[in-house]
Chain A
Amino acid sequence: MSLQPTIRDTPASSRRGSRRALLKYYFKVGWREPTAIIGVLMVVLFAYLVAVPIVTLLHDAIEVQFGDARRAKSEVGTWTYYYLQRTLASPISKILFWEPLVHTLAIATGVIVISLSLGIPLAWLLSRSDMYGRRWFATALIVPYMLPSWTFALAWRTLFRNRTVGGQQGWLENLGFTPPDWLAYGQVPITVILALHYAPFVILLFGNALRGFDSQLEESARILGAKSGTVAWQIIFPLMLPALLSATILIFAKCLGEFGVNYLLGLPVDYNVLATSLYRSISSRQSGVAAVLAGAIMLIGIISLLIDARLVRESRRFVTVGGKGAMSRNSPLGVYRLPASAFAALIFLISVGLPLLVLMLSTVMRIPADFSIDNFTLDYWIGQNLETVALRTGILLTPDLWAAAWNTLRIVGLASLCSGLLGLLVGYVVVRSRVSFVSSFLRHVTFFPYLVPGIAFAVAYLSLFAVPRGPIPALYGTGLILILALTADQMPYSSRAGISAMMQLGKDPEEAAQIAGAGWLRRMISVVIPIQKGALVTGTLLPFISGIKGLSLFVVLAVPSTDVLTTYSLRLIDNNYTQAANAVVLIIAAMAYFGTLAVQNVTKTNLADGLGG
């Protein structure tokens, strides 16, 4: 008896019936729970918050913008090469693009070289040696990373500012020594400051890799007769390569989007990098050129991260899973113990102690570098009826400061809460969704802002929300645009935190509740959310900390009514209220520092888990 005739004889109606049964089945299996609906909502939300702004931005680069019709020799809204040509191959493209590109690459290279050469030995000392005060240094040396990078730029200006620009002079100038321009502004200070700021990346990533390194691998080589140099070069170094590559690319990507330091120290000598050139294009309302520049920054960012992914994959082939022997032994330093500790202390002094001390002193001194008692004053903090044109009270008594602080809390707080919650939801949907498109789309789209430097991302938002589109009114100038942009910008960290938390939790506890008879809502309320409380706190606080010290998003999107602390301090700098600006920056630094400590205490997590920001 063959089955063939039976199949051929199936009436069309019953086949349609079975198709309906199949649809019903798919519906019951894949879509019966809110997971699916939430998944679809998330896909729509992030398509709008991430994908659409970027597409709009790139589109601006090839479409004639308002006011450019005559120059582009084409109607507004038509397709054009004009902006590409103007940015990349015109008489001014050298100033607009090529010089900034060279500067960006030069700074990035310098930063990478210096931070690696500082970070690697420090990481080794911290994790594998018997240096004095190891535990203390382990926290102290990553403090630069907790503070906004331009804190150090301000400190540098306070010290080295020379007569090239007006306003209050630097300490050295006042002491009778005029620092040359190359020391006061431009490539050298930018490179040094960023290198000191990003060295903690190396310390954290390389240190973690060293700690996870199975010392039996090293000991096997020793037993076979290898000298320590050979062991370091042939065993440890190849296995540490992935961590070093990651740190390198991370630093490169960060340098690409770095705005504050470049703005403060590059501007006086017209030293432009891509980020500041982009900012200038926006300020001078050349949105087409800005779009091309933002696209270029994004492209370089994406390429570097693709290279990283590839290199890391290549080298991960060798990485062995640490077994029970994955314990590290500390090497005694012998006579070098004291010099090594002194080295770490010196780095701490240069990268944290000195800049903060200078900033602090500068806010209580009338004339820079005059250390006589009567030069010291608290006027800049709490003074009243000062003899200045504006800002006639100390900074703490200025309503503007409190307005900016309140804005910061409100905007950054709401955005972090949103991104924390969304991150957990993304994690849930990615891990649970039975529709594979939904989970892979969400995973990628929430990570995408990572590839886009903040300033380019802000330009994308500006381009999308500057005018009303469909049902959405023009959002420029509102707090909402900042919240949306900040939320989307923080998604890479919060969604990664959410996904890994849900992965770690695994399906079992929730499935056990399901077996016990709990529906979706019950499972969320009684099982998933209570267990993920810690992850939710981390996923909210980490974006908050990186948000309050963030500058590049705000500098493009904030207007005076939505001033936050960072943009407020930048305006004070522009108006030459040096002491007040330094005070505001100190407040931000304190918030970021104590916030980070609080997170570490509350969640008992390592800062390395929240790397980025």
Chain B
Amino acid sequence: MPTITLSRVSKFYDSSTPAISELDLEIGHGEFMCLLGPSGCGKSTTLRVIAGLENLTKGEVLIGGRVLDSRDQGIFVPPEKRGTGLVFQSYALWPHLTVERNVSFGLRLRKVSREERQRRVEFVMRTLGIEKFRDRYPSQLSGGQQQRVALARMLVIEPNVLLLDEPLSNLDAKLRLKMRAELKRIHAEFGTTIVFVTHDQWEALTLSTRVAVMNEGSLQQVGSPDEIYNSPANLFVAEFVGNPPINMIPISDGNGEELSVTTKQYLARTFKEIGGVGFVGIRPETILLLPDAAVGSSRNLTSRAEVSGILPTGGNWIVELDVAGAPLFVSTSEPPGCAPGKHVCFQVNPASLHLFDLDGFRVSR
């Protein structure tokens, strides 16, 4: 079964800065792997390296044990011989061909018999709901329809791996949601390995079986969506994943802010060893707002702060607290019974705290 292996893969466009550096990644058969990261982090380059549209500067790419790209062994298999499928962010439909011709292009190249071709094209077009546009040209389709054609074009050749480069980023919110569900269904139905590039964390967390978070060309963490969210491996992952973003409190010495000092005192009380901790992260939704009078249990970090702002986000509220000059964001699905300028009590369960050392790596307890 084809497993994609990237081993110590580096790609330099110019000699100084690598687009990706020393990337080690294994993608198993049938996985739905998301490459997640901010723009320019090298995730699209990784995808193009797998497809063979870019060659490597260092390292090796293997699919199903077969070496496809290795400078050391003098091997480079061109993209047209790799049997992968790639859906471009721009869809890249051929404007001079009808939908039907776009979809059947790969099969015609492979000299698949007429009946077989029609059967497969028909099947894929029906599955994706584009059979009624067969004689239209791409310019006569909406964004979502174009996207289905681009997907159908690649699915029809039954690729050993389907690569998707930000396929949903050009769609409007509603269509996006629909296509997300669609992709999940396609993954189940066709059983193909999918590698999906996105900068949208929700897309990554909802769709994938595993997520690889990248930044500045290197891999930050690989894990299930749950692991990525609940035990981020470093500061970058913690801050990149999560909306509203995690509250990150630096507690290094010399930081005079009261929040850090109280946090530090609290941590010292709660945990035996916190010597290596440089930052404490608190996800906004793990902070509980309490009525002013209530006193939290001693197991929890409880404090009082002034409310400096309330942002309703439609069903949810983001409450900005001013903890002795430092902002702390709280996210709540209950109407916050407070107003700016008033004081509230808040409470944090120490189990939900994320601790990072001075280099930004997670401190496990």
A contact residues vs B (CB 8 Å cutoff): 18, 20-25, 28-29, 32-33, 506-509, 511-519, 522, 526-527, 530-531
CB distance from A314 to the nearest CB of B (A): 26
A18 to B58 CA separation, bound complex (whole angstroms): 13
Contact of A517 among B53, B75, B94, B106 (CB under 8 A): B106
Q: Which chain B residue lies CB-closest to A30?
A: B55
Q: B298 near A: Cβ within 8 Å?
A: no
CB distance from B306 to the nearest CB of A (A): 38
Contact of B96 among A24, A516, A517, A531 (CB under 8 A): A531
Q: Which chain A residue lies CB-closest to B96?
A: A530
Chain A positions within 8 Å of B74 at CB level: 20-25, 28
Chain A positions within 8 Å of B70 at CB level: 25
CB distance from A28 to the nearest CB of B (A): 4
Q: Are B71 and A516 in contact (CB under 8 A)?
A: no
Q: Provided the pairs A21-B73, A21-B74 are in contact, do residues A512 and B94 lie with their beta carbons within 8 angstroms?
A: yes
Q: B72 near A: Cβ within 8 Å?
A: yes
CB distance from B19 to the nearest CB of A (A): 15
Q: B78 near A: Cβ within 8 Å?
A: yes
Q: Are B90 and A506 in contact (CB under 8 A)?
A: yes
Q: Which chain A residue lies CB-closest to B153?
A: A516
Chain A positions within 8 Å of B106 at CB level: 516-517
Chain A positions within 8 Å of B235 at CB level: none
Of the listed stretches B38-46, B81-89, B179-187, B272-280, chain A binds B81-89
A506 to B88 CA separation, bound complex (whole angstroms): 12
CB distance from B130 to the nearest CB of A (A): 17
Q: B95 near A: Cβ within 8 Å?
A: yes
Q: Are A28 and B94 in contact (CB under 8 A)?
A: no
A155 to B121 CA separation, bound complex (whole angstroms): 66
A88 to B137 CA separation, bound complex (whole angstroms): 65
A18 to B70 CA separation, bound complex (whole angstroms): 11
- Between A and B, 28 residue pairs with Cβ closer than 8 Å are A18-B72, A21-B71, A22-B74, A23-B74, A25-B55, A28-B78, A29-B76, A32-B78, A509-B92, A511-B53, A511-B86, A511-B88, A512-B86, A512-B88, A515-B51, A515-B79, A515-B80, A515-B84, A515-B154, A516-B80, A516-B109, A516-B154, A517-B106, A517-B157, A518-B105, A519-B80, A531-B95, A531-B96
A21 to B86 CA separation, bound complex (whole angstroms): 29
Q: Which of A18, A32, A514, A515 has the most CB of B within 10 A?
A: A515
Contact of B75 among A23, A28, A512, A522 (CB under 8 A): A28
Q: Provided the pairs A18-B72, A516-B153, A518-B80 are in contact, do residues A509 and B86 lie with their beta carbons within 8 angstroms?
A: no
A515 to B51 CA separation, bound complex (whole angstroms): 7
CB distance from A27 to the nearest CB of B (A): 8
Q: Which of A24, A512, A513 has the most CB of B within 10 A?
A: A512
Chain A positions within 8 Å of B86 at CB level: 511-512, 515
CB distance from A26 to the nearest CB of B (A): 9
Chain B interface extent, by class: 20 to 34
Q: B110 near A: Cβ within 8 Å?
A: yes
The tally of CB-CB contacts under 8 A between chains A and B is: 88
CB distance from B137 to the nearest CB of A (A): 12
Chain A positions within 8 Å of B73 at CB level: 21
Question: B residues 93-110 with Cβ under 8 Å of A?
Answer: 93-96, 105-106, 109-110
Contact of A22 among B53, B71, B157 (CB under 8 A): B71
A29 to B105 CA separation, bound complex (whole angstroms): 25
Chain A positions within 8 Å of B95 at CB level: 509, 531
CB distance from A456 to the nearest CB of B (A): 38
A528 to B318 CA separation, bound complex (whole angstroms): 52
Q: Which chain A residue lies CB-closest to B88?
A: A508
Chain B positions within 8 Å of A512 at CB level: 86, 88, 92-94, 150, 153
Chain B positions within 8 Å of A514 at CB level: 53, 78-80
A531 to B90 CA separation, bound complex (whole angstroms): 16
Given contacts A514-B80, A516-B80, A517-B106, 14 further A-B contacts (CB under 8 A): A21-B73, A22-B71, A25-B55, A25-B76, A28-B76, A29-B76, A32-B78, A33-B78, A514-B53, A515-B51, A515-B84, A515-B154, A516-B109, A531-B96
| 5 interchain residue pairs of minimum CB distance | A24-B74, A508-B92, A21-B74, A516-B106, A28-B76
Q: Are B75 and A25 in contact (CB under 8 A)?
A: yes
CB distance from B352 to the nearest CB of A (A): 41
Q: Which chain A residue lies CB-closest to B71?
A: A25
Chain B positions within 8 Å of A526 at CB level: 94, 105
Chain B positions within 8 Å of A24 at CB level: 74
Q: Which of B74, B81, B86 has the most CB of A within 10 A?
A: B74
Question: B residues 54-82 with Cβ under 8 Å of A?
Answer: 55, 70-76, 78-81
Q: Provided the pairs A25-B74, A28-B74 are in contact, do residues A511 and B92 lie with their beta carbons within 8 angstroms?
A: yes
A509 to B96 CA separation, bound complex (whole angstroms): 11
Chain B positions within 8 Å of A515 at CB level: 51, 53, 79-80, 84-86, 154
A32 to B157 CA separation, bound complex (whole angstroms): 25
Chain A positions within 8 Å of B94 at CB level: 509, 512-513, 526-527, 531
Chain B positions within 8 Å of A21 at CB level: 71-74
A531 to B94 CA separation, bound complex (whole angstroms): 8
A592 to B73 CA separation, bound complex (whole angstroms): 59
Chain A positions within 8 Å of B96 at CB level: 530-531
Q: Which chain A residue lies CB-closest to B91?
A: A508
Chain B positions within 8 Å of A527 at CB level: 94
Chain B positions within 8 Å of A23 at CB level: 74
Contact of A518 among B51, B109, B154 (CB under 8 A): B109
Q: Provided the pairs A21-B74, A511-B53 are in contact, do residues A516 and B105 lie with their beta carbons within 8 angstroms?
A: yes
Q: Which chain B residue lies CB-closest to A506?
A: B90
A527 to B90 CA separation, bound complex (whole angstroms): 16
Q: Are B79 and A511 in contact (CB under 8 A)?
A: yes
Chain A positions within 8 Å of B51 at CB level: 515
CB distance from A83 to the nearest CB of B (A): 45
Q: Which chain B residue lies CB-closest to A515?
A: B86
A526 to B135 CA separation, bound complex (whole angstroms): 18
A589 to B76 CA separation, bound complex (whole angstroms): 56
Q: Which of A506, A509, A517 has the most CB of B within 10 A?
A: A517
Question: B residues 236-292 with Cβ under 8 Å of A?
Answer: none
A24 to B70 CA separation, bound complex (whole angstroms): 11
